[in-house]
Amino acid sequence: MKFKIGMRTFKTGLSVFCCILVSILLKRETYVVAAITTVFTLREDMENTLRYGKHRIIGNVMGAIMSIAVIAIFNWLGRTELVQLIFIPVIITLMIALLASLGYHEGTVGACATLLTIVFMIPANQSYGYAFARVVDSFIGMGIALLVNYVIPCKVGKKRFIRTSKSEEVSD
């Protein structure tokens, strides 16, 4: 068995360390979402890291917004099992279809996780605050993944760039 810690693995560990450190310094309630976001976001290059990060952020924002819609439905119709059985799958289906139609397929899992966590795990009186905090933590995780991937490229000597359009590149 060959045991190897490659550059991407090292950068992932470093990114998680940075997420925990930043969350502690900013006195965030938890660093779970930031750390998970950085793990999912960090990719082999800046272009893919930026793309996955954008999808993850949009997914979390969409999940937070849709959870507010579900909570509004609960407030209007009651939080009965029948209302949950009907409306949560419908909202999730619509959310996935919307994200897919906008081209954010990689954001669907995060969106569903955000919605379900807010709706089922967070007390109703804390839902809005948690939704906002989750989005902020996602930005922290994505920002750290981008920073680490920019500062430490996967291959020494490889150009760091972000494709801004099909025909132009920005390099350092």
Predicted confidence (pLDDT) per residue in 43-71, tens digit: 888 888 999 989 989 999 999 999 989 98
> Given this model, what pLDDT does residue 166 score?
52
Closest CA to 84 of 97, 68, 93, 73: 73
- pTM of the predicted model as reported, rounded to 2 decimal places: 0.77
More confident residue, 122 or 60: 60
**pLDDT at position 154 over 90:** no
d(CA 88, CA 28): 29
Confidence of residue 23 (pLDDT cuts 50, 70, 90): very high
Closest CA to 90 of 70, 105, 75, 108: 70
Q: Work out the average pLDDT over 132-143.
A: 91
Q: Where are the domains of the chain?
A: 7-153
> Given this model, what pLDDT does residue 123 score?
78
Please tell me the chain's helix, strand, coil percentages from 3-state DSSP, rounded to the nearest 5: 75, 5, 25
Question: Which tens digits make up the pLDDT trace of 89-121?
Answer: 999 999 999 999 999 999 999 999 999 988 888
Confidence of residue 125 (pLDDT cuts 50, 70, 90): confident
Looking at the DSSP assignment, which residues form a beta bridge with residue 169? 163
**pLDDT at position 81 over 90:** yes
The interaxial angle of helices 46-77 and 127-151, nearest 10 deg, is 180
Read off the tokens for 135: 């989005």
Q: Work out the average pLDDT over 16-30.
A: 95
> Given this model, what pLDDT does residue 155 score?
63
**pLDDT at position 79 over 70:** yes
User: Which range has highest mean pLDDT (11-20, 35-44, 108-117)?
Assistant: 11-20
